[in-house]
Each structure stands twice: as structure tokens, then as C-alpha cells.
Amino acid sequence: MTAEIIHTGNTAGDSAIDPAFALHRGGKMEVRATVPVRDASDLSLAYTPGVAKVCTAIAEQPTLVHDYTWTSQAVAVVTDGTAVLGLGDIGPKASLPVMEGKAILFKQFGGVDAVPLALDCTDVDELVETVARLAPSFGGINLEDISAPRCFEVERRLQERLDIPVFHDDQHGTAIVTLAALRNAARLTGRPLGALRAVISGSGAAGVAIAKILLGAGIGDLALADRKGIVHTGRQDLTAVKREIAEMTNKAGLAGSLDDALAGADVFIGVSGGTVPEEAVATMAKDAFVFAMANPDPEIHPDVARRYASVVATGRSDYPNQINNVLAFPGVFAGALKVRASRITERMKIAAADALASVVADELSPDRVIPSPFDERVAPAVTSAVAEAARAEGVARR
């Protein structure tokens, strides 16, 4: 029996049986030409002999590839299928519907063409080598759903090797939107970011990236917790990534469990799944913020969190304040591609967060500290901010 269970194979009847399968049948993407090929004259320009002139020009001046091919507006969405949504390691073929979805979001919200590439390899060396060999066809690389800690090394090595942006969205997209929501929550309650102490549940890709962007933005203090408790320098079981984070965080010198860290904390950010007891949230500071972002089940139910927190956010679309990466990655790449940036820096990420926060800065309420993904102001604001920051950082090439 197939996954569709009662699917009959009749395309016309799909929507009556399961709308998700009906929508995905045949895939969610296609390739369209941007120039006409109506006659022999058009053909001679779009292909041979006309195309040879363009190829020769690019061979003589490689940077012309951005002017005369689609690389200036195209991103590769790359995965190995090892950390797909909340499904885990389901492999490259099963990851393709998600990668197609990501690609259409790039186009819908940022005007960026994106190609899903699900790679049948999980070795870091092979991943880096494969993506590097594919890179000449694209203006940027969006890494997606690659498990930690390998994702950190893959991103680092690719960015060192390539002169185009490499961006692991599970890390940085989540971090950008989280910072934007936190900025507005702080504004709403009249507190500077530097006065807040945050606790992050999860020290994987998203948790580490959120920690780094909050530190760069000037958070007062923060601590991360993993399955074994608070990440601190006294622990002997830390990976290299966790040890680096331990040395940058936890100025208060906390040890013990996540529940211990929450006592008196201003902010809880959940990116690990699992649950947080109501009793622990009750010990947080007055006017606390709870960002319970696990999907589909938040670490604590939003209705329960609201008993103690002034602002509650989740990763779900059926509750207010959805922390959704689609608010970030289309505009981030659109801005980077606009100026042909060689990389996406921390300054560019913070600029993206600030621009995102500014979209609703005059419309704040406990249920509105972040815009909707369908707010048409989002992508232009993020795109402009990222492009301007890239120029200021000296990584723009036009």
C-alpha cells in the first residue's frame, strides 16, 4: 500500500482524496524561458551561432557570466536529506518535496530563481566537493536540512572556497527572524536588548546561530542548554562548536538544567523540541518572552505560556507571531545577489533582522511583533538593508 493509502491513481480525483498529494503530483516547479524562440532568427540568437559570441566574451572576461546568464538571480537549494523538517534523516529523494517548496518560496517572496539539489552523499568532504563543482551555475548556495554538527563545517568550508554567498538557512534564517521578533518584543515592553537575559533550548544549528546573532546584536546575557543541561565551560563532553559557544555565553556562570536557567530569565527560545514544564516558565522574570518554536508541537502550549509571558511566539502559522524563515531568506539572497556579494556577513544578517523588525515597528502588540510572510513590505525592506550592509562591509561587487 502506498503512502497515499486510498489514492486511486486517478489524477482528477486526487483533490477529493488527499489535497497534499494532489498538489504535489508532478512536482511543484517547472522551467520557463525568458526569451522567445518563435522562428529561425530567434533560434540563431538564443542558441547557435549567436550564443557562441556570448560564450567567447565570458571566456575572456569571466565576470560577464553574471550579466549574460541567470547566475545573477539563481540560487542552488542543496540538501543531503539528513535533517528534514522534524522528520530527521529521510534521505535525498524524500527531501525533494521540501526543497521544491523552498525553491518556490524563493521565487514567490524574493523574485529569486532557485533549483532544488538533493545530493546522495553525507560525507562532509564529498558534500563540499560536489557543491563546489556545481557552484559556477549559481549566484548563491542555500544549504538546507543538513544535520548538525556537519552543517557547520560544510558551510564554513564552502564559504572559504567559493566567492558567492553560502547560507545555511536552518541556522541563519531562523536566527534573523528570531532577532527581529525579539527586538520588537523588547520595544513593546520598553526594554533595551542589552537588559535581557535569554535561555536557548537547543545547541544545534539553529540554537548556535541564534546565540551568535543575539551576541552580535548586544543581548545582555544568554545561556544555551542541550539534553545534558546548560552548556558551560566546565563541561568535559562538549563538541568543538559547543565549546566555542560556551566561551562566548553564560556570563552568569550558570550550571544545571534548562529549568534552572529559566529562573529569572527574560527570554526563552526553544529550537530543540521536547517540552518545558509550566512550573519552569512560571519562574521567569516579569514580562518575559517565550518563543516556543518546535514544530508541530511547541515546547510549551502558547495558551499556557501566555499565563506568564507578555509575548509568545511559535513556529506555527495558526498562532500569532510565527517565526518563519520565509521572512528572511528570500530578501537576504535577493539583496546579496543584487550587489553580487561574495558572502553574507553577520552585519548583513543583523541588518536583515532590523529591517524585518522595522516593518511592523509602528504596529506593535503582543500578538504582532513580527510581520506576516504575506506582508508585501517584507522582502523589499530586507533586500535593501542587506544590499546596503554588503556595500558597507566591502563584500559587494557592484
pLDDT for the residue numbered 6: 45
Q: Each residue of 235-293: pLDDT tens digit?
A: 988 888 899 999 999 998 999 999 999 999 999 999 987 889 999 999 999 999 999 99
List binding-site positions: 144-145, 170, 295, 324
Q: What is the pLDDT of residue 205?
A: 87
Average pLDDT on 189-199 reads 95
Average pLDDT over residues 318-342: 96
Paired strand residues for 267: 198, 289
Question: Rounded to whole angstroms, what are the CA distances from 253 to 222, 229, 233?
Answer: 10, 13, 9
Query: Apex CA 155: angle with CA 126 and CA 337, to 5°?
Result: 115
Q: Are 313 and 288 in contact (CB under 8 A)?
A: no
**Catalytically annotated residues:** 47, 102
Locate all alpha helices (DSSP H) within 250-395, ordered by sequence: 258-262, 278-281, 302-305, 329-338, 346-359, 378-393
| Cis peptide leading into residue 149 (ω within 30°) | yes
- The structural domains of the chain, ordered by start, are 69-164 (3.40.50.10380), 172-314 (3.40.50.720)
Q: CA–CA separation, 364 vs 19, rounded Å?
A: 36
Span 10-15, average pLDDT = 46
Are the C-beta atoms of residues 325 and 174 closer than 8 Å to each other?
Answer: yes
C-alpha 391/C-alpha 387 separation (Å) is 6
Rounded Cα gap, residues 119 and 76, in angstroms = 12
The model's confidence at residue 14, banded by pLDDT at 50, 70 and 90, is very low
Q: Is the pLDDT of residue 15 over 50?
A: no
Contact 257, 230 (CB under 8 A): yes
pLDDT, tens digit, 9 for 90 and up, residues 85-140: 878 899 999 999 999 999 999 999 999 999 999 999 999 999 999 999 999 999 99
Characterize the bridge pairing of strands 140-143 and 229-230. Answer: unpaired
Q: Which residues are annotated as a binding site for a divalent metal cation?
A: 144-145, 170
**Do the beta carbons of residue 162 and residue 134 sit within 8 Å?**
no
What residues form the annotated binding site for (S)-malate? 295, 324
How far is residue 196 from each of residues 241, 275, 285, 338, measured CA to CA in Å?
Answer: 24, 23, 10, 35
pLDDT of residue 7: 44
